[in-house]
Amino acid sequence: MKRIALSTLSLALLGAAGAAHAQSSVTLYGTIDTAVTFVHNANAAGQNQWSVGNNSNGDLSGTRWGLKGQEDLGGGLKAIFQLENGFNPSTGALAQGGREFGRQAFVGLTADQYGTFTLGRQYDPLVDLVQGITADNYFGSTFATAGDVDNYDNSSRTSNAIKYVSPVFSGLQVEGMYAFGGVAGQTGSGQTWSAAAAYNNGPISIAAGYFVADNPSVDGLVRPSTTTGTGWGGTSDGTFDGSLINLGLQSAKSINIARVAAQYVAGPFTFGAGYSNAQYKADGQSAFASTEKFNTGQGFFDYQATPAILLGVGYSYTKSSGDTGATYHQVSVGADYSLSKRTDVYLVGAYQHASGETLSADGTAVVAAQASVGSYGYGGTNTQELVSVGLRHKF
């Protein structure tokens, strides 16, 4: 990462006047990750597709640039901020719905003794504490849950959020977040709340958490002002990546996600397992009739063959039930080679098989389940294969 003195950056980038505090700093950082991707059965007609930079979440990492900084306020207390932009490296287009700083935008206070308190657009506690010990942390989207129904690949961020992260006590850390819906007269409409805890002790890491995001009612003027809703609103982004696995559930009243994960490191070997339960709950304004539940079990094995070569394999099983029922089996493999500390090349691939039934894109009809690898959003036939060869650079 490139560190720039705040006094210089203030004039060049922020346009602020006055001398900088001696203990202040700002860091400019970023990641560019793009790949050539081949998808077999990329649509319902079974056609294939070649593309470059097809996934806004990136293959191993989402492409981004950002600024983060701190000011020493004395007594161990610091003011902090972070602004992070997401974009498509192949087209230059903004990601995260066209937001300038759609990945993160927050300000806060931190102290080693008391923890960190932040306000703004942020990741939820499950992303912060659970994601880091899953296969997604090493090989990204190709290892993610089918359709990313449980936000395994960090598809969602939360706006208007207040978050607290505790210090680490003997390996234990806890985190909580609440986001205000901002609807007058309806305190809970559009709100999001989440909590998680993580324990790290040498080679063993365990983390778990719970997340609830509300979709505002018709009276909140976010969901369509008709008797049946068709879209997702509220403070948290929906985890809808364009596949039929959960696209027909956008009119859900709320999304509730429980996740737990564990990891064990033995020399060059890393073993991990996880479980999630994601529930898309229906109400009178939902296009579908009853709560759809996704139960997912996952496991992975990584091998650091040399200091520069990381190899990995993973398996994911997802079973949906409730309004419809479908099953998704996914096997993923990956290899990453570091050319330097900041640049690497990789090869990742996955195969997925789907069976059963799911909802159509508008949530009003039952259709055959389609395979859709990870969070890429391609809805194909009942099977799908995806391979990506990519380059990632961090600065």
Asked whether 7 and 19 are in contact (CB, 8 A), the reply is: yes
Does the pLDDT at position 16 exceed 60? no
φ, ψ for residue 148, nearest 5 deg: 50, 40
Q: State the pLDDT at residue 238.
A: 86
Asked whether 292 and 249 are in contact (CB, 8 A), the reply is: yes
pTM for the structure as a whole: 0.89
- Domain 34-65+80-87+96-394 CATH assignment equals 2.40.160.10: yes
Q: Which residues make Cβ contacts (< 8 Å) with residue 45, sequence separation at least 6?
A: none
Does the pLDDT at position 312 exceed 70? yes
- Give CA separation, 181 vs 92, 144, 162, 225, 310, in Å: 31, 29, 12, 17, 42
Rounded Cα–Cα distance for residues 331 and 317 (Å):
9
Rounded Cα–Cα distance for residues 328 and 195 (Å):
28
58 burial class (0-12, 13-18, 19+ CB within 10 angstroms)? buried
Does the pLDDT at position 223 exceed 60? no
Does the pLDDT at position 117 exceed 50? yes
Domain positions in the chain: 34-65+80-87+96-394
- Helix, strand and coil content of the chain, in percent to the nearest 5, comes to 10, 50, 40
Average pLDDT, the chain: 89
Rounded Cα–Cα distance for residues 51 and 53 (Å):
7
Residue 8, classed as helix, strand or coil, is: helix
Q: What is the pLDDT of residues 41-91, one digit of tens each?
A: 999 899 999 999 766 566 899 999 999 999 999 999 999 999 999 999 988
Rounded Cα–Cα distance for residues 197 and 200 (Å):
10
Rounded Cα–Cα distance for residues 28 and 356 (Å):
48
